[in-house]
Chain A
């Protein structure tokens, strides 16, 4: 994926603007990111219990959905969906921060350029109030 990103960025983009999702390689980028991301959240004591389950395959599918959304890929999630999915977890700022750290750490590990990381973080922040049920 790193090569893919480099290729994209060495090419002058005179055509129609690409979404972040397209820029970083679409589904393949999500696949590359999800394992790294999942290892990070499982290793973080602040949040690991939300992710530690026998149904690891089901959990990874949820992480893929999340990353696809954060990367601006195809999804139809609404604020209401986000609220519904998280409201029983009593999440705090600390939890949200830990997940955001894991996300940024993952993107850094994949050498995603800073301006794209900023865009992805902005997407994640846009659902913060819904996730924290504020």
Chain B
């Protein structure tokens, strides 16, 4: 009160103003909420220093905002400098660097890529080709199409003995709209415990356990002016389909190329939907490629070679690659050597579970 009167009496001197705001800050010292603990931040301390002071062990290396070892995640407002050097996709997910974060307000933070267990209800099941199931699940969280989530194997009729819970990751092919329905594309593998359960044994109305979505492979407004190149094999189409729908819904104006590849034509799916989109949107080109038995409208060529041939110059392009790690590694490297910046290449590598392959 006294300082308020003083300020009023002396006029709005800038110096006094800043002293006042400093005082106000001191009286409400910001607090970090981390792993159910409140850690207060001393004057001039970074989030990293404050958490270390409270005996938390946060990975770090350079402590100067370069190495990104100390990256954490929050849904609260973040001082700009704590996101310096991060990609648009990391910023969209609330990632920040603990070593460079000096919050003025209290902040709730968590380790990055820490997801919560949630439940969803199956609302639709439809085979998209002979072996790929389109599974639609009603959920109550937000996501970016192209991110992935884990489905936990938990058969409801397990006959007494509790089953060991097994997670499998699937990418999200639908946009996050008002009704919040995630669409997953499940390839049924003969040896796949989780995929056989999802395809054969689940029914509409069942609730299933999920982990909240993660991943960097999605569309942001930062991409709006850039031509997009997307390439996938098999159910790698799922994240790309989601990204494509998002880009088109946001009136992406630059060209979009989608290369969907498979072993033979029976491995492709959503062909009609994608052809319709290609007709409707002049800037969208849909290319189908298979290794053998190509039919009309399908190119018989390795997708890595095809992309290399059609896109020798990728400077300024945004690239999305989804599929097996081996294919991604080669494609990614080719795109980099064709002029794309590494930060403009977003990938979703489908690591196979061993021995039960499920993606």
Contact = CB atoms under 8 A, between A and B. Distances in A.
Given A35-B342, A57-B342, A76 B332 contact: no
Contact of B66 (A42, A68, A81): A68
A62 B62 CA distance: 11
Q: Which has the most chain A C-beta neighbours within 10 Å: B328, B329, B349?
A: B329
Interface in A1-39: 27, 30, 35, 38-39
A92 to B, nearest CB: 24
B62 A65 contact: yes
B325 interface: yes
A38 B332 CA distance: 13
B347 interface: yes
A90 interface: no
A61 B69 CA distance: 10
Contacts of A91: none
A41 B67 CA distance: 19
B352 to A, nearest CB: 13
Interface in A31-70: 35, 38-39, 42, 52-54, 56-57, 60-62, 64-65, 68
A27 B85 contact: yes
A49 to B, nearest CB: 12
A76 B342 contact: no
Contact of A56 (B62, B85, B342): B342
Contacts of A73: 64, 66
B349 A54 contact: yes
B336 A56 contact: yes
A59 B66 CA distance: 13
A76 B333 contact: no
B337 interface: yes
B337 A39 contact: yes
A113 interface: no
A74 B329 contact: no
A64 B349 CA distance: 23
Given A54-B328, A56-B342, A65 B67 contact: yes
A37 to B, nearest CB: 11
Interface residues of B, number: 24
B63 interface: yes
B62 A68 contact: yes
Given A38-B342, A39-B337, A60-B342, A54 B62 contact: no
Nearest to A58: B68
Contacts of A75: 62, 64, 66-67
B66 A39 contact: no
B329 A54 contact: yes
Nearest to B325: A54
A30 B66 CA distance: 10
Closest 6 CB pairs of A and B: A74-B64, A65-B67, A75-B62, A60-B342, A68-B66, A54-B325
Given A35-B342, A73-B64, A76-B62, 4 more contacts: A42-B337, A53-B329, A54-B347, A62-B67
Interface of B: 61-68, 85, 87, 216, 325, 328-329, 332-333, 336-337, 341-343, 345, 347, 349
15 contacts: A27-B85, A39-B336, A42-B337, A53-B329, A54-B328, A56-B333, A56-B345, A56-B347, A57-B216, A62-B67, A64-B66, A65-B67, A68-B64, A77-B61, A81-B61
